[in-house]
Structure 1
Amino acid sequence: MKPINSNPKRSEEPIWWSLFGAGGSWFAMLTPVTVLLVGILVPLGIIDASTLSYERMQGVAAGWLGKAVIAGSIILPLWHAMHRIHHGIHDLGVNAGLAGKVVCYGFAALVSVVTLGLLVL
């Protein structure tokens, strides 16, 4: 039996896994509600279409809560997807190493910063 390493190497994986989990949870919770509202209830006439009019949604998106929901809806699922792609490439036998992390997580970080920048303007 191996002795327990009392000085283990630090890993950044918990950061990526937490973003992966947050993105998956966000997507799993909000996507069905969005599909129900926009894809079923409005076309069936159960909810009036003017409730989701452009002007009304623009007003919602202008507030801090609307901006937070928009940011979360773009950023968190993106981190989820890029983490899944990074590990999917590894599962296919491609050893991308540090370059794979930089491309996947760098892209997610770049889009996150651009999204937040556009929402603040």
Structure 2
Amino acid sequence: MRAGLAALLALALTRTEPLQAQEPAGAIVFKTCQSCHSLDPAKTGMAGPHLAGLKGRVLGSADGFDYSPAFRAARAQGLSWDDEKLKAYLADPDTIVPGGWMSPPAGFSVADRVAVADYLLSK
């Protein structure tokens, strides 16, 4: 038993990096979205709007982004983001905002869409 404890202690002492919590799956999937979107509302000039505070936010309402006419119409109707809308949008953007300028994310599985939607709605 002492040999096992000594080996465990030796292993712990040789670790040079701190233990970190594993990233949520949605955060990992979101990295593919970061070429167009940010979670920082102050980051402007991207191809897509920031996605901070998405849960309950009215579609097409992020400050500083020039939305498509389709998104401006959705904003005028007062439609807001929720779990169901976001997952449907990620599967096929035209089902929620026809003509909204975003293509479906390439290569996303159902599990990827669920994970990134859950992640974004928590930010």
Which of the five TM-score ranges fits, normalised by the shorter chain?
under 0.3
Which is helix-richer, 1 or 2?
1
Structure-2-length-normalised TM-score:
0.22
